[in-house]
Amino acid sequence: MKGRIFVTLFALPFFGVGVWMLWSIGSTFHDAWRMQDWEPVPARLIAAGYETHTGDDSDSYEAYAKYTYQHRGQAYTGERVALSDGADNIGNYQTDLGNRLSGLRSRGEPATVWVNPAAPRESVIDRNIRWGLVGFRSIFLFVFGGIGLGLIIYTWMGPREKDASLMQYQDAPWLLNDAWQTPEIRSGSRAAMWGAWIFAALWNAISAMTPFMAYREVVDNQNYLALIALLFPLVGIGLLTWAVRRTLEWRRFGPAPVTLDPFPGSIGGHVGGTIDLNLPYDSTAKCQLTLTNLYSYVSGSGKNRSRKEEAKWQDECVAHAEPGAKGTRLTFRFEVPDGLDESDATQEGDSYYTWRLNLRAELPGTDVDRDYEIPVYATAQESRYLSDRAVHKSRREQNAISDGRVRDIVRIQQGPMGKSMFYPIGRYLGPNLAGILVGLVFAVAGWFLVVQEGQTIFGGIFGGVGALVALGAFYMMTNSLEVSQDGTSVNVVRRWLGVPVRRKSMRRSSFARFKKKSSMKAQSGGRHVIYYAINMVDQDGNTMVVGEGFKGESEAQAAMRMIAQELGLRVERNSERPPKGTPLFDEDVLTADF
């Protein structure tokens, strides 16, 4: 209850701003409607112009006037200038109106005022609605009012808090989450669809005025840097496209929940289940499932606090498809190793772990794209009801795909001493191109701040960080790795743009096992990709990179099989696991170097 009261008190100011803006906009429309029958009357201006109000960040302006007029032989005095009172800096309305009225007064010309015939003491000079001001206030109405109202509704209408100390939750902590009461888990697609529309609407409402503001800055002040503001409405168009795609995906495939077997998913056992799609069965359609263990945490402080995600473990498999009650039934199963972190049912606090299952398939028309937040706990349970035939067929198909992807990454060459493997320039192409682009944007912005604006320190830091990001991504994309053998040793050579920069060797007789290690992580929205490097480990614990650029657990396992075969190394099953008593996973590194 205390938590609900606290959230309500936090939300009330936001809701209050929304109510105030709703009253302000409503009053504007009401006044404009009732002024349609007012009569035009000439008035003599006694005083006119505009006042400047200086604030902490900017100046605002307010047109003013005092005038006298006669209506049916009776003299009146008025001061109302426009529908909305108060100062603002939305466009040039206030200054233009103040200058126009001041000019009429200096020339001794009358101004036309609108007078209420039923109450002649009421008058106004401009009875037109300022749509720019209405739009600006609407942003506060929908953003602040929507956030405040949404928080209040969710707080009092949402699920009740549960007492985690009760025995039933001690034995089954996943039951603390209302979405995890049964093996049937719904995806976040419907919520993502509505979230996409809300976010797109808010973004476009906020950025709707930027083209007009940019136009004024360029035309009036020759500030061509303001053209950058045009990126905001372009992003808005992209968000609308995203919302439409989410809607089409939901309408085509429906809820499509996953039914877990075992329930919950098991660390040290299986994560498996079935998904029924509203999709006519097609034996050629391939549905890919990706299971990711994520660490969610809050970074920064104060206004800079933001929630981020980091992938800790990942595997993928092709789902076995067969005719089902709703069209197509998908069957899948992952083998999850020990040592990973369990799901957090309540997801409270600054940091917690979660498990995400992604279903994706490229189909004619709208693609399947679903994310499921599923419970995974260290129960060491295995699936009981899944078809072994379907699971084994799915795993064989995934192994064939992973083997093919590994062969696409590595070039096998026959040399005088045996086979060698070459990892060419261009690995991690997508993430590195994005890194180069982001780094260049920051570097150019820093250069502009230094050269054009004279911001040497800030611009230098800004541009320097951007340059380092771009150079780092360029290096990652343009280095190569060659792995060869000479009969007694395995040798590796790292080259950058064809120039050797490092060499390393390991005797074949000292080889103990393989070990995979995260070398790069990429994220796009809620989708994560872990790239693994493969290390040879000798009997003394020394390591040497012999492969890199493999996505997920399946490709990493396929790479180990391929490397062992090509180099003629004898390994035991699961030889990448470290000796008992040592950590299962090493700390992630940021580079692919050895």
Chain-centre distance of CA 560, in angstroms?
33
Looking at the fold, whether 546 and 424 belong to one and the same domain comes out as yes
Other C-beta atoms within 10 Å of 306: how many? 9
Question: Domain boundary residue among 133, 162, 194?
Answer: 133
**More confident: 207 or 14:** 14
Q: How confident is the model at residue 80 (pLDDT cuts 50, 70, 90)?
A: very high
Question: Domain boundary residue among 114, 133, 152?
Answer: 133
Q: Across residues 433-452, what is the average pLDDT?
A: 84
Three-class DSSP category at 124: strand
Q: Across residues 247-271, what is the average pLDDT?
A: 91
Q: Per-residue pLDDT for 526 more than 60?
A: yes
Q: In this structure, is residue 80 part of a structural domain? A: yes
CA distance readout (Å), 229 to 210, 215, 438, 522: 6, 10, 17, 28
Q: Per-residue pLDDT for 533 more than 60?
A: yes
Min mean pLDDT across 33-37, 505-509, 581-585 is at 581-585
State the SS3 of 40-88.
EEEEEEEEEEEEEEECCCCEEEEEEEEEEEEECCEEEEECCCCCCCCCE
Highest mean pLDDT among 259-273, 316-330, 485-499: 259-273
Three-class DSSP category at 355: strand
Min mean pLDDT across 35-49, 197-211, 287-301 is at 197-211
Min mean pLDDT across 64-73, 453-462, 466-475 is at 453-462
Distance CA 444, CA 442 (A): 6
Looking at the fold, whether 333 and 467 belong to one and the same domain comes out as no
Phi and psi at residue 40, in whole multiples of 5°?
A: -75, 135
Q: What is the pLDDT of residue 586?
A: 39
Q: Per-residue pLDDT for 588 more than 60?
A: no
Q: How confident is the model at residue 162 (pLDDT cuts 50, 70, 90)?
A: low
Q: Per-residue pLDDT for 567 more than 90?
A: no
Looking at the fold, whether 380 and 443 belong to one and the same domain comes out as no
pTM over 0.85: no
Looking at the fold, whether 469 and 541 belong to one and the same domain comes out as yes
Q: What is the pLDDT of residue 453?
A: 66
Alpha-helical segments (H) within 419-545: 429-451, 456-478
User: How many domains does the structure of the chain reveal?
Assistant: 3
Q: Across residues 20-26, what is the average pLDDT?
A: 88
Q: Per-residue pLDDT for 235 more than 80?
A: yes
Q: What is the dihedral of CA 340, 186, 236, 301, to 10 degrees?
A: -40
Three-class DSSP category at 494: strand
Looking at the fold, whether 559 and 443 belong to one and the same domain comes out as yes
Handedness of CA 276, 280, 282, 285 (dihedral sign): negative
Min mean pLDDT across 88-92, 148-152, 240-244, 248-252 is at 148-152
Q: What is the pLDDT of residue 461?
A: 84
Q: What is the pLDDT of residue 279?
A: 85
Q: Per-residue pLDDT for 539 more than 70?
A: yes
Q: What is the pLDDT of residue 161?
A: 62
DSSP string, 217-228: HHHHH--GGGGG
Q: Across residues 569-584, what is the average pLDDT?
A: 48
Q: What is the pLDDT of residue 196?
A: 83
Q: What is the pLDDT of residue 578?
A: 41
Distance CA 228, CA 208 (A): 14
Phi and psi at residue 235, in whole multiples of 5°?
A: -60, -40
Looking at the fold, whether 450 and 523 belong to one and the same domain comes out as yes
Contact assessment for residue 571 and residue 560, using Cβ atoms and an 8 Å cutoff: yes
Q: How confident is the model at residue 225 (pLDDT cuts 50, 70, 90)?
A: low
Other C-beta atoms within 10 Å of 369: how many? 18
Q: In this structure, is residue 401 part of a structural domain? A: no
**Averaged pLDDT of the chain:** 84
Q: How confident is the model at residue 248 (pLDDT cuts 50, 70, 90)?
A: confident
Q: In this structure, is residue 448 part of a structural domain? A: yes
Q: In this structure, is residue 260 part of a structural domain? A: yes
Q: In this structure, is residue 366 part of a structural domain? A: yes
Q: Across residues 547-564, what is the average pLDDT?
A: 89
The CATH number of the domain holding residue 281 is 2.60.40.640
Q: How confident is the model at residue 314 (pLDDT cuts 50, 70, 90)?
A: very high
Looking at the fold, whether 186 and 302 belong to one and the same domain comes out as yes
Looking at the fold, whether 98 and 200 belong to one and the same domain comes out as no
| pLDDT, tens digit (0-9, with 9 covering 90-100), for 111-161 | 999 999 999 999 999 998 888 888 788 878 877 887 888 777 777 665 566
Count of CA atoms in the C-beta half-sphere (13 A) of 93: 19
Looking at the fold, whether 381 and 422 belong to one and the same domain comes out as no
Looking at the fold, whether 425 and 383 belong to one and the same domain comes out as no
DSSP string, 371-393: EEEE-EES-----SSS-HHHHHH
Looking at the fold, whether 376 and 429 belong to one and the same domain comes out as no
Q: Across residues 291-310, what is the average pLDDT?
A: 83
- ω into residue 264 within 30 of 0, thus cis? yes
Q: In this structure, is residue 168 part of a structural domain? A: no
Q: In this structure, is residue 177 part of a structural domain? A: no
Min mean pLDDT across 101-110, 514-523, 529-538 is at 514-523
Other C-beta atoms within 10 Å of 49: how many? 18
Q: Per-residue pLDDT for 573 more than 60?
A: no
Q: What residues are paired with 258 via a beta bridge? A: 185, 275
Q: Per-residue pLDDT for 88 more than 80?
A: yes
| pLDDT, tens digit (0-9, with 9 covering 90-100), for 175-209 | 888 889 999 999 888 888 888 888 888 777 767 76
Distance CA 513, CA 503 (A): 21
Identify the helix (H) or strand (E) that includes residue 561. helix 552-567
Q: What is the extent of the structural domain holding 107? A: 2-133
Closest CA to 334 of 270, 415, 406, 416: 270
DSSP string, 224-242: GGGGGGGHHHHHHHHHHHH
Q: What is the pLDDT of residue 79?
A: 95
| pLDDT, tens digit (0-9, with 9 covering 90-100), for 355-368 | 999 999 888 888 88
Q: What is the pLDDT of residue 104?
A: 94
Q: In this structure, is residue 62 part of a structural domain? A: yes
Q: Per-residue pLDDT for 593 more than 60?
A: no
Q: Across residues 215-241, what is the average pLDDT?
A: 73
Q: What is the pLDDT of residue 215?
A: 67
Looking at the fold, whether 204 and 274 belong to one and the same domain comes out as yes
Tell me what percent of the chain is helix, strand and coil, each rounded to the nearest 5: 40, 30, 30
Q: What residues are paired with 193 via a beta bridge? A: none
